[in-house]
Amino acid sequence: MGTYDLTLTLSQELVVWEGDEPIEIQAVSRLEQGDSCTLSTIKMSVHSGTHVDAPKHFLQDGQSVDTLDPDTLVGPAQVVDMRGYSAITDSVLSKSNIRSDMERILFLTDNTERQILHASRFIRDFVAVDESGARWLKRAGIRLAGIDALSVAPFGNSEFTHRILLGAHIIVVEGLDMAGIQPGVYQLIVLPLKIKDCDGAPARAILIDIKDD
């Protein structure tokens, strides 16, 4: 049984969303400087690196990240191969092999091969779910959707996809490091930080091999 960590390592070099402040990690005290302990602080957007979007991110009365249902964040998930497509649309999803009993979907796209999450600068032309694709996921009863980009929605057109997904109580996981992951069914564990009344949170995301019946 294999375990795979989909979590980006937070560092000051990690690419962030265009316009966001870079991640800042500072040591307040250091053992090597004679202090009693090493202690660091971190400053960043809660949507940096691998993270969860809560409905509150785009919906005024939406749930905050600390109130999300853990049952949705943990369970069987299908990694769906979307490589070769420039956008995840309803027609693309209709041709996919998404299982009818699957409620958690992780999209493996050309973003991974292009290593956009490890680039030295933010890349705008990433593969994402358009409005029609979001409506398809809503109709399919999906409860969680994850992607190998800093946004599930296209750059410059984030609102509609997010509003459809989050309005349908679909938890969105972004910034997944899918390198080396093969399509198939796994056990997914996503653990966002429990930040009170917040619109999102950094998360640890793990896949575990399970027997696909």
Domain segments of the chain as ranges: 3-10+46-209
| pLDDT tens, residue by residue, 137-174 | 999 999 999 999 999 999 999 999 999 999 999 999 99
Backbone angles phi, psi at 77, to 5 degrees: -140, 145
Alpha helices (H) along 63-186: 70-73, 90-94, 110-114, 131-139, 158-167
Q: CB under 8 Å to 200, separation ≥6 — which residues? A: 46, 47, 51, 52, 53, 54, 57, 65, 192
Low-confidence ranges of the chain (pLDDT < 70): 1, 211-213
User: Which class would CATH give 3-10+46-209?
Assistant: alpha beta
Supply the pLDDT for residue 93.
98
Cα separations (Å) of 3 from 71, 161, 189, 206?
A: 20, 31, 11, 7
Say if pTM beats, i.e. exceeds, 0.75. Answer: yes
Supply the pLDDT for residue 1.
65
Supply the pLDDT for residue 213.
47
